[in-house]
């Protein structure tokens, strides 16, 4: 069946359609973008499905995104996306806004126990019985004109995404529907909670092995790399390789020859930023102790694996009762944060990352289990 495709190539047409979409109960949204040599994704196409038609918005022709921003923030219209973390970045970059309420069909599939982290094509096959052609993921979405294959692929995405919502929504209980929207809101909130560059050092592998003065250097290196990647709009590793950060903070080279010997140090980095890096290391290394970061906690010991497994089983059992994919229940990071709050003897505190219905339904059971384990020791 041929898809009814409508192109949106100017500000006025976009504004008119956005007004009509705001009268609908839901719209399906998808994006195609390029992100090969840039920090930020570059939008190549925005697709909207209203249940019958596919609308293809050309971001190279549209200048005023305010009508789309207003649609994204209209709480009366559910925005339907699939595995949408990168789509959210594209929409935020274009419009300055993020969709609410957000219904992610990949999450919905997990709540219906159809599978966890299902790809779009597989979900369409599973729910709609439609076999999609191989994707255009390697296409150049910034080229013009787009090929017929690209246009067809993009339009099918918009149409079938709307059909997925129509098929999945009635199968979700009101509770589960609310939880899908809650998780969608959390995806949006997580993107809004952009980590400050000064906090990124905490995520560097083996950072916990460094002393406080070395952590001060690592903190500045990570923050500088992040700021430069954003301002130059290039990938972080183009500025400074991930694997160079830790050895630089540990050995603190004070000349270009020593800097060049750092793991995975690119000659281009030495040429462009070598002097800047040496000055940054020198300045951070000489900070007074009261300005050093606190030591980072060590990873959980190997014997904690059994406790983590037991806690995970609480989530899995609740998932079985509710008919939800077990991987959606309790995230590993939340369980590790819970365990680190009091290991080995307690008391334990539920982490902020355990939110909403998960906290309500399983929080006390997790604490009770850990308290019982403490009693036995």
- pLDDT tens for 231-262 read 999 999 999 999 999 999 999 999 999 999 99
Per-residue model confidence (pLDDT) at position 194: 78
CA distance 96 to 368: 43
**Taking a C-beta distance cutoff of 8 angstroms, is the pair 37, 27 a contact?**
no
- Residue 358 burial by Cβ neighbours in a 10 Å radius (0-12, 13-18, 19+): buried
Residues whose CB falls within 8 Å of the CB of residue 111, separated by 6 or more in sequence, listed in order: 172, 176, 179, 180, 324, 325, 328
Architecture of domain 5-192 in this structure = 2-Layer Sandwich (3.30)
Q: What percent of the chain has pLDDT over 90?
A: 93
**Taking a C-beta distance cutoff of 8 angstroms, is the pair 25, 216 a contact?**
no
Domain with CATH 1.10.150.80 in the chain: 197-291, 302-376
Place of tokens 């017929």: 148
Residues whose CB falls within 8 Å of the CB of residue 131, separated by 6 or more in sequence, listed in order: 121, 125
Per-residue model confidence (pLDDT) at position 192: 87
Residue 157: active-site member:
yes
Q: Which of 30, 74, 220, 336 is catalytic?
A: 30
CA distances from 87 to 33, 43, 47, 75, 83 (A): 9, 9, 11, 19, 8
Q: Which of 108-117, 197-206, 287-296, 366-375 has the lowest mean pLDDT?
A: 366-375
* First vs last C-alpha separation in the chain: 66
Per-residue model confidence (pLDDT) at position 193: 85
Q: Which of 19-28, 132-141, 190-199 has the lowest mean pLDDT?
A: 132-141
Residues whose CB falls within 8 Å of the CB of residue 14, separated by 6 or more in sequence, listed in order: 8, 57, 62, 64, 65, 67, 68
Is residue 373's pLDDT more than 90? no
CA distance 163 to 168: 9
CA distances from 269 to 215, 272, 273, 367 (A): 22, 5, 5, 49
Q: Which of 74, 89, 120, 153 is catalytic?
A: 153
Which stretch of DSSP H or E encloses residue 73?
helix 66-73
Is residue 377's pLDDT more than 90? no
Per-residue model confidence (pLDDT) at position 137: 63
Fold of the domain spanning 302-376: DNA polymerase; domain 1 (1.10.150)
**Taking a C-beta distance cutoff of 8 angstroms, is the pair 296, 215 a contact?**
yes
At 64-116, the pLDDT tens digits run 999 999 999 999 999 999 999 999 999 999 999 999 999 999 999 999 999 99
Is residue 374's pLDDT more than 90? no
Strand partners, 28: 49, 80
The class of domain 197-291 in CATH terms is mainly alpha
Per-residue model confidence (pLDDT) at position 36: 87
This model's pTM is above 0.75:
yes
Residue 30: active-site member:
yes
Mean pLDDT of the chain, nearest integer: 95
Q: Which of 89, 104, 156, 157 is catalytic?
A: 157
Q: How many CA atoms within 13 Å lie on the side-chain side of 92?
A: 18
Residue with the larger pLDDT of the pair 138 and 19: 19
Average pLDDT, integer, range 274-298: 97
Q: Which of 74, 87, 136, 226 is catalytic?
A: 87
CA distance 329 to 113: 11
Per-residue model confidence (pLDDT) at position 136: 67
Is residue 305's pLDDT more than 60? yes
Closest by CA to 111, choosing from 25, 190, 175, is: 175
Residue 87: active-site member:
yes
At 129-185, the pLDDT tens digits run 999 887 666 789 999 999 999 999 999 999 999 999 999 999 999 999 999 999 999
Strand partners, 350: none
Joined together, the tokens standing for residue 255 give: 């000349």
Residue 153: active-site member:
yes
Residue with the larger pLDDT of the pair 311 and 133: 311
């Amino acid at each position: 069946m041929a898809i009814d495709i409508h192109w949106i190539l100017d500000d006025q047409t976009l504004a008119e359609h956005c007004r009509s979409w705001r009268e609908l109960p839901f719209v399906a949204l998808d994006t195609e973008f390029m992100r090969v040599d840039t920090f930020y994704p570059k939008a190549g196409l925005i697709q909207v499905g209203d249940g019958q038609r596919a609308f293809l918005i050309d971001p190279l022709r549209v200048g005023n995104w305010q009508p789309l921003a207003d649609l994204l923030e209209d709480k009366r219209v559910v925005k339907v996306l699939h595995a949408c973390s990168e789509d959210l970045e594209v929409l935020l970059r274009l419009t300055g806004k993020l969709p609410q309420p957000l219904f992610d069909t990949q999450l919905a599939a997990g709540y219906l126990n159809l599978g966890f982290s299902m790809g779009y094509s597989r979900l369409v096959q599973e729910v709609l019985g439609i076999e999609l052609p191989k994707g255009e993921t390697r296409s150049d979405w910034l080229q013009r004109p787009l090929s017929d294959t690209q246009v067809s692929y993009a339009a099918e995405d918009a149409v079938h995404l709307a059909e997925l919502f129509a098929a999945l929504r009635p199968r979700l209980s009101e509770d589960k529907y609310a939880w899908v929207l809650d998780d969608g809101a959390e995806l949006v909130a997580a993107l809004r909670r952009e980590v400050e560059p000064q906090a990124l050092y905490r995520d560097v592998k083996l950072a916990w092995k460094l002393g406080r003065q070395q952590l001060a250097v690592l903190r500045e290196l990570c923050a500088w790399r992040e700021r430069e990647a954003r301002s130059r709009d290039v990938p972080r590793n183009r500025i400074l390789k991930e694997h160079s950060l830790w050895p630089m903070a540990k050995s603190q080279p004070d000349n270009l020859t020593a800097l060049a010997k750092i793991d995975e140090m690119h000659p281009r980095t030495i040429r462009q930023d070598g002097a800047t890096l040496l000055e940054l290391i020198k300045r951070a290394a000489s900070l007074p102790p009261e300005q050093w970061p606190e030591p980072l906690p060590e990873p959980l010991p190997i014997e904690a694996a059994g406790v983590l497994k037991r806690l995970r089983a609480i989530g899995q059992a609740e998932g079985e009762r509710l008919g939800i994919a077990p991987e959606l229940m309790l995230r590993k990071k939340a369980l590790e944060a819970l365990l680190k709050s009091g290991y080995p003897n307690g008391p334990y505190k539920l982490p902020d990352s355990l939110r909403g219905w998960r906290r309500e339904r399983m929080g006390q059971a997790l604490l009770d289990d850990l308290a019982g384990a403490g009693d036995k020791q």
